[in-house]
Amino acid sequence: MAKGRLLLVLLAAPLLLGSGSRAMQAHSARPVDDSIERYVHDLSIDDRSDRLYAARVLRARLRIVVREAERARPGSVREDEALAALDDFEVLVAPACIEALGVENVAPHCADILGLLEHAPAEAPLAALLAPEAQGSGRLRRHAAQALERIRAALPLPAPATP
């Protein structure tokens, strides 16, 4: 019986010591920068996979914020926080996405982002992607068309002219 306990202690000791050292390493490691600014910066770097990852992360985060804004009660704190986050995306992400519409692997994601934001200044660049002479895949054209449709639906209707 004593041999069994000793064997158990000997087998469990490295596991217990190892988990403690991992916990210490976690506290001493540099914090990961997962800010919106970092991903906006990554949209313009040379590494294709990092650009694509940044575009996907930004689109996923924006979808969450849009969902929160749509589901929140009007006047609630949740709605205020979601609207503030949407403003951050509008200021930080939208201009970078308009520039990235010319980059092949992130353009469809950026078109989605601009459509979710209903970013009116993106109407002309998105329409240019749909021009017959424009280069681009069918996937890019589909995403650009959906984004353009969403932006145009959000624009206020012009007032009727009175005679």
Confidence category of residue 2, pLDDT binned at 50, 70, 90: low
Q: Which long-range contacts (CB under 8 A, 24 or more apart) does 120-124 make?
A: 120/151, 120/154, 120/155, 121/94, 122/94, 122/97, 122/98, 122/147, 122/151, 123/148, 123/151, 123/152
pTM: 0.76
Count, in order, helices (H) and strands (E) of the chain. 8, 0
pLDDT at 9 over 70: no
Q: What Rg, from alpha-carbon coordinates, does the chain have?
A: 24
The rounded distance, in Å, linking the Cα atoms of 161 and 118 is: 26
The rounded distance, in Å, linking the Cα atoms of 79 and 100 is: 29
Residue with the bigger pLDDT between 32 and 112: it is: 112
pLDDT > 90: percent of the chain: 58
Pick from 6-10, 21-25, 102-106, 109-113: least confident: 6-10
Tell me 120's DSSP state: G
Residues 6+ apart with CB under 8 A from 74: none
Per-domain residue ranges for the chain?
36-153
The rounded distance, in Å, linking the Cα atoms of 111 and 151 is: 11
pLDDT at 15 over 90: no
**Is 70 in contact with 127 (CB distance < 8 Å)?**
no
H or E stretch at 113: helix 107-117
Encode pLDDT of 50-60 as tens digits. 999 999 999 99
